[in-house]
Amino acid sequence: MSAPLLRVEGLSRRFAGLKAVEDVSFEILPGEITGLIGSNGAGKTTLVNLVTGHLKPTAGRVHFLGRDVTGSRPHRLQRLGLLRTFQVVQPFGEFTARDNVAASAFFSGKAHDLSAARQAAEEVLERLGIGRLANQLPPSMTLANRKRLELARAVAARPKLLFLDEVNAGLNSSEIDEVLHLLRAIANGGVAIVVIEHLMRVVRGLCRRLIVMHQGKLIADGATEIVAEDPEVMSAYLGARGAALLRGQV
């Protein structure tokens, strides 16, 4: 079995007495696509912020590529290959799509100068199907294409592990299918992906493994087909009445 890319041990974070994340442990292996699910307020985004350096943990450790990176700044983790995207995309509005992606390639240390960064940007934009938009400014792009641009910025930094926060939010069914195709292609290129998602059809179709959060705690971690049918998971994800409705009990 491959050594884990990421190992999280007993990670916790409190805000003025509120336990946003409590004693969470898990591992991510190379090349796998994992779903991180839970209801609103379950602690998913806080957990990702802790792992990717956007928040410092109250307790616990984060190991990436065999080294302790607990509390490391995001830019250091990005250079190591640990990245995340954000649910609300915020590209540089005054930069073209090409220069948005080039900036990521350059500042992550994956391109030695701006010329190489722009060349890398062209290649990534083509791979993600938006090469024709290289000269467009983000405010003139559709939400679906801004989402692809956000993904392109992450890919240009050559991640080893990529956390995607609600990458499908606001997209229609055909746009979601296109994103899932892109994510499979990225994973096939050797990138491990953790998808933070609310849509069960997405995680069932994309992820072999699910990690489930509820009230700041990890309540399940295992094969998708097993975890998705777990009564405790269904109740946490849908609420007790929603789970009962789904099972035809009310």
Residue pair 232/244 in contact (Cβ under 8 Å)? The answer is no
Structural domain count, the chain: 2
Residue 70 and residue 73: Cα distance in Å, rounded?
A: 9
Residue 44: inside a domain, yes or no? yes
Together in a domain, 57 and 8: yes
**pLDDT (tens digit, 9 = 90+) per residue, 62-82?**
999 999 999 999 999 999 999
**Strand pairing partners for 28?**
6
Specify whether 44 is located in the same domain as 58: yes
pLDDT tens digits along 102-134: 999 998 888 889 899 999 999 999 999 999 999
Q: For the chain, what is the mean pLDDT?
A: 89
Confidence bin at 250 (pLDDT 50/70/90):
very low
Q: Which helix (H) or strand (E) segment is 192 a member of?
A: strand 192-196
- Of residues 72 and 243, more confidence is placed in 72
Classify residue 86: in a domain, yes or no: no
Task: Give the pLDDT of residue 164.
Answer: 94
For the segment 177-185, the average pLDDT, to the nearest whole number, is: 91
| pLDDT, tens digit (0-9, with 9 covering 90-100), for 38-67 | 888 889 999 999 999 999 999 999 999 999
State the greatest distance between any 2 C-alpha atoms of the chain, in Å, as a whole number. 62
| pLDDT of residue 159 exceeding 80 | yes
CATH no. for residue 168? Answer: 3.40.50.300
Task: Determine, yes or no, domain membership for 212.
Answer: yes
Percent of the chain with pLDDT over 90: 68
Indicate whether 169 and 143 sit together in one domain. Answer: no
Q: Which residues share a beta bridge with 18? A: 15
User: Do residues 132 and 47 both lie within one domain?
Assistant: no
pTM to 2 decimal places:
0.89
The predicted structure's pLDDT at residue 239: 59
Q: Same structural domain for residues 150 and 165?
A: no
User: Which letter does DSSP use for residue 140 in this model?
Assistant: G
Asked whether residue 87 is assigned to any structural domain, the reply reads no
According to the model, what pLDDT value does residue 193 have?
A: 97
Tell which of 106, 124, 158 closes a domain.
158
Same domain, 76 and 171: yes
Residue 242's pLDDT is 45
pLDDT at 216 over 90: yes
Mark whether 59 and 103 lie in a shared domain: no
Is 5 inside a domain boundary?
A: yes
Q: What proportions of the chain, in percent to the nearest 5, are helix, strand and coil?
A: 40, 25, 35
Q: Is the pLDDT of residue 241 over 60?
A: no
| 154 lies in the same domain as 165 | no
In single-letter form, the type of residue at position 197 comes to E
Its domain, for residue 209, covers 1-81+161-250
CA distances to 103, 108, 160, 167, 218 from 115, rounded to whole Å, are 11, 15, 24, 29, 45
What is the phi-psi region of residue 160: left when phi exceeds 0, alpha when psi lies from -120 to 50, beta otherwise? alpha
Q: How far apart are CA 5 and CA 188, in angstroms?
A: 16
Residues 76 and 127 in one domain: no
**DSSP letters for 8-53:** EEEEEEEETTEEEEEEEEEEE-TT-EEEEE-STTSSHHHHHHHHTT
